[in-house]
Structure 1
Amino acid sequence: MKLQLSIKIAIGSICTMFFIILVGFIFFPKMITSKVKAMVNLGHGMEIREMFLKVPFPLSFKIYIFNVTNPMSIQNGGVPEVEEVGPFCYQEWKEKVDVTDDENNDIISYLSKDTFTKKSASGCVSGKVVVTIPHPMILGIVNAVSRTKPGALSLINKAFKSVYENPTSIFLTATADDILFDGVVINCGVTDFAGKALCSQLRESGSLKIVNEKDLAFSLFGPKNGTEQKRIKALRGTKNYHDVGRIVEYDGSALMSNWPTKECNEISGTDGTVFPPMLLKEEGLVSFAPDLCRSLKAFWVRKTKYDGITVNEYTASLGDMSKNENEKCYCFTQDSCLKKGLMDLYKCVGVPIYVSLPHFYDSDKSYLNGVKGLKPNKTKHQISILFEQLTGGPVSAKKRLQFSMPLEPNQKVDLFKNFSSTVIPIFWVEEGIDLNSTFTKPIKMLYTMKKAVNITKWLILLASVAGLIASGYLFFKNNQTISITSVKDIKKTAPVSGISSVNGHMNGSMDGN
């Protein structure tokens, strides 16, 4: 029976081990993977499509303005001194409109639209506060004309005196609301040739608000608020889950035309609202940024936790186009590349605006030394994305970018004659998202189920191994045991004679022997 028991234990353990390997280690993971692949696409009727087309919650949008504290000193060649004012808080509602589908090629086509609304919260600064910044119109026009038509600078000098009524500095003092969204009025009711020529160009640009027949208004974000952007075509991912959201065309073209090389004009990645599931950390997170006319890749940093969920943290930078040969195509010219951490957007937006991380974090020290009052901080100023790998969704993200302008002396424009060369920051923004428990709960339930199955399968596997060990031990023990039959002692009796008592008769022939 002991031998039979060991065999029974061995057979049961082997069957259990085979079952748990098949179900727990092979079938269940494949089932989860297959389920995620089937759910994460932008086809009709999919929940993720609805969230992709209209994000059901607002993103946090914070703006910080660098208030200039010594404008007249800068006019005379002094080093700029700034203080950060903010955040000015807004809600950013993202949606995609004019949506069409190309079923044959598995493509969704749409126009993006971002709408900003004011948000009052603890720690937010009122938009009524007054700040001083370099006038983006004055500084931008002079820098742009200096690059493309330097011969027209004398005309621009006369136009400024007319439109801005003989200004004594290039600095603008106004409320944050006016600078950001409401608009700062530009007096275009002038009659001189230079002023009228400048205002005519400003009207035709389409980026300014028309106040009345005479006046225009300039703001940093007003033109973008609630405005449909250029058309994007992206793959839906119903045929290949790894292609979900990948942009294949922007503004009617598969390549941009802003940069001198094909590599820099390539459009890669998604629009940042959706990513393919089950990405390897080595692949990074690639997204296309129309405002920068380029794609950016976020690199894996570490594993961490968010609301109890294991996630991967990623970060991104603008590189160093002064040293990296693959990034030199983003320079204005091959001989005028900016140093580490900065990118010139002139070929993208038509104005020499420099983009970097806030407070010149992770940038060349020379930019930080050119301005007083900046305090770069990794936690506050880096780009950070917490990415849930299985479902392919960012659970928390902080996209932070600073916008600055070059400040250069120019002898043809009176207001620019005495400047010391530097890069002066104007503002920086943080676009953020932190999923609440409503949206993390399904992910946590999936991970709880996976964790329970993982624990169970390992316990069963260990129990199966223990059963095999036990059956082997019993089998070995049984083979080493010798079976001995016990013998009973027989009591001594009288010698046996040839007498037979059968039937009670005596054998007479044996008589006397």
Structure 2
Amino acid sequence: MGSHSRARRVAAALGFAGLLCAVLGVIMIVMVPSIIKQQVLKNVRIDPSSLSFNMWKEIPVPFYLSVYFFDVVNPKEILQGQKPRVQERGPYVYREFRHKSNITFNDNDTVSFLEYRSFQFQPDKSRGLESDSIVMPNILVLSAAMMMENGPMSLKLIMTLAFSTLGERAFMNRTVSEIMWGYEDPLIHIINKYFPNTFPFKGKFGLFAELNNSDSGLFTVFTGVKNFSRIHLVDKWNGISKVNFWHSDQCNMINGTSGQMWAPFMTPESSLEFYSPEACRSMKLIYKEQGVFEGIPTFRFVAPNTLFANGSIYPPNEGFCPCRESGIQNVSTCRFNAPLFLSHPHFYNADPVLAEAVSGLHPNPEEHSLFLDIHPVTGIPMNCSVKLQLSLYIKSVKGVGQTGKIEPVILPLMWFGESGAMEGETLQTFYTQLVLMPRVLHYGQYVLLALGCVLLFIPIVYQIRSQGPKDAASQPSLATQPDQLSSPYTPLLQDSLSGQPTNPKL
């Protein structure tokens, strides 16, 4: 009797535990997605109390700037009208350090900040040294010649004489360090003296001189604390909501984020839009495919074919014109009117005539396309590689002797790739908190529900098994009744059971 009572108590306890597990599992199935969403919303906004704030303030991802130069092989022949030949040199790799300062939270749910950058050469990752010599077009001379193309002949002759006096030529031989971070040029001093504010350079001239140890402008972005729908979007850059470099309102708009984080809960229909001060415009990337980075699910976004398309191919880009062949963007209006063009490296995804006009170019998607891998739940980049090329339009200008007989051509100067991938402790923390724990909760809720159902089934089975034999034992068997009945009425009962008429004689 005691064992049966104990078994009933155990079965009841297991049933109660099963009920609790099942109820908890159902509650988790209903509530966990909402809880995870609320935690993500809380921790991706720009707020000192959020988990991602320090990541936003001091980007822990190591960024590298890889620079490739197009060394001009035949400068003398180009001056005689022959086809340019170039040889790619590099990469020359720099570790890029970023940090935000002057962080100011505003009353309209925005935060303003300056982001400073500095670069440190990495010899072990580079193919060459900063002391390497590169032959490339003299941007100052050829740009000045192009600006004076429609000017009076007398002024062109004076320019030719001035260039000769200063020893300026159409092509120059400079070290990587000089091209990157600047070199003294007497032409700069003369231009700044007689034509102030023409160039942003006050001392040395270099392609990256204005980027090292400087900020990229005052960004004001939405924090998402009060209005989550605008999280990370740029409100203003340097106090303006649109630039004035281009010829249409659409092209002048400052759209998207500052290029570091995006809104969470992305879908394949989402796009990545960001404002680039270096390109003087907003850019939009489109979804390509799903992937996995170090165990973390990602969405890969790439540049659309229309990013640098000209106005005839993609009418919305008409505002960036005057345009030339499709696949290159004229950035002269935001680069001191120098005939500079932005594109993918080696003119990838551009009109083939551009690459055919210069020997030594070999565009291919594996090496020259850009991408960003984003964790879709949080909108945080996991792995990125942004690649762009800077080219110069050169040609012979009548009256400027230094330009010789140069045939019109878009000549690549260099291309660079900014890359970064989350790693180390930051990657492990991100994986644990934003991938592993939600995954455990996701599977745990179904495990609890299944366990609860199993435990609830145990008392039911016990009840059925405990009641079955008891009921059978409580009813006498017909086969054993004659032996068990010993009263005088047994014959009567037997006759009744057999269906025969009873004998009235006692």
TM-score surpassing 0.5?
yes
> What's the TM-score, normalizing by structure 1?
0.82
| SS in structure 2 at match of 1:274 | coil
- Aligned-pair distance for 1:401? 0.5
CA contact (8 A) 1:59 1:91 kept: yes
**1:26-45 alignment runs, 5 A limit:** 26-45=30-49
- Aligned-pair distance for 1:153? 6.2
2:70 to 66, 72, 76: 66
- Aligned-pair distance for 1:56? 4.4
Q: 1-side partners of 2:145 and 2:123: how far apart? A: 37
CA contact (8 A) 1:161 1:167 kept: no
2:142 alignment partner AA: L
Q: Where does residue 98 of structure 1 map in the other structure?
A: 102
CA contact (8 A) 2:42 2:50 kept: no
Q: 2-side partners of 1:279 and 1:59: how far apart? A: 24
- Aligned-pair distance for 1:451? 2.0
CA contact (8 A) 1:106 1:235 kept: yes
- Given the alignment of the two structures, is residue 346 of structure 1 paired with residue 332 of structure 2, yes or no? yes
Encode CA deviations 1:212-233: one digit per residue, 9 max, x unaligned: xxxxx32111122223443221
Q: 2-side partners of 1:327 and 1:494: how far apart? A: 113
CA contact (8 A) 1:75 1:169 kept: no
- Given the alignment of the two structures, is residue 431 of structure 1 paired with residue 418 of structure 2, yes or no? yes
- Given the alignment of the two structures, is residue 109 of structure 1 paired with residue 96 of structure 2, yes or no? no
- Given the alignment of the two structures, is residue 81 of structure 1 paired with residue 85 of structure 2, yes or no? yes
Shift in CA distance, 91/168, structure 1 to aligned 2, threshold 3 Å: closer
Q: 2-side partners of 1:495 and 1:227: how far apart? A: 120
2:321 alignment partner AA: C
- Aligned-pair distance for 1:259? 2.1
1:330 to 308, 320, 325: 320
Q: Where does residue 503 of structure 2 map in the other structure?
A: none
CA contact (8 A) 1:357 1:402 kept: yes
**1:147-162 alignment runs, 5 A limit:** 150-152=150-152, 154-162=154-162
Q: 1-side partners of 2:152 and 2:113: how far apart? A: 40
Shift in CA distance, 225/17, structure 1 to aligned 2, threshold 3 Å: same
- Given the alignment of the two structures, is residue 208 of structure 1 paired with residue 201 of structure 2, yes or no? yes
2:365 to 378, 384, 400: 378
Encode CA deviations 1:18-74: one digit per residue, 9 max, x unaligned: 431321x22122212211211222224545334333334652111111000011111
Q: 2-side partners of 1:254 and 1:308: how far apart? A: 39
| SS in structure 2 at match of 1:121 | helix
> What's the TM-score, normalizing by structure 2?
0.83
CA contact (8 A) 2:309 2:327 kept: yes
- Aligned-pair distance for 1:463? 5.2
Shift in CA distance, 123/252, structure 1 to aligned 2, threshold 3 Å: closer
Shift in CA distance, 157/95, structure 1 to aligned 2, threshold 3 Å: farther
CA contact (8 A) 1:57 1:93 kept: no
**In angstroms, what is the RMSD of aligned CA positions?**
3.5
- Aligned-pair distance for 1:112? 3.1
Unaligned runs of at least 5 residues, structure 2 = 5-9, 490-505
- Aligned-pair distance for 1:10? 9.6
Shift in CA distance, 153/13, structure 1 to aligned 2, threshold 3 Å: farther
Q: 2-side partners of 1:200 and 1:92: how far apart? A: 34
1:237 to 212, 220, 224: 224
1:359 to 331, 346, 352: 346
* More displaced 10-residue stretch of structure 1: 359-368 or 55-64: 55-64
- Aligned-pair distance for 1:280? 2.7
Structure scoring higher RCO (CA < 8 A, sep ≥ 6) equals 2
| SS in structure 1 at match of 2:123 | coil
Q: 2-side partners of 1:9 and 1:47: how far apart? A: 41
| SS in structure 1 at match of 2:250 | helix
CA contact (8 A) 2:83 2:359 kept: yes
Percent of aligned positions that are identical: 21
Unaligned runs of at least 5 residues, structure 1 = 190-195, 211-216, 497-512
Aligned positions, number? 475
- Given the alignment of the two structures, is residue 19 of structure 1 paired with residue 47 of structure 2, yes or no? no
CA contact (8 A) 1:315 1:385 kept: yes
CA contact (8 A) 2:24 2:448 kept: no
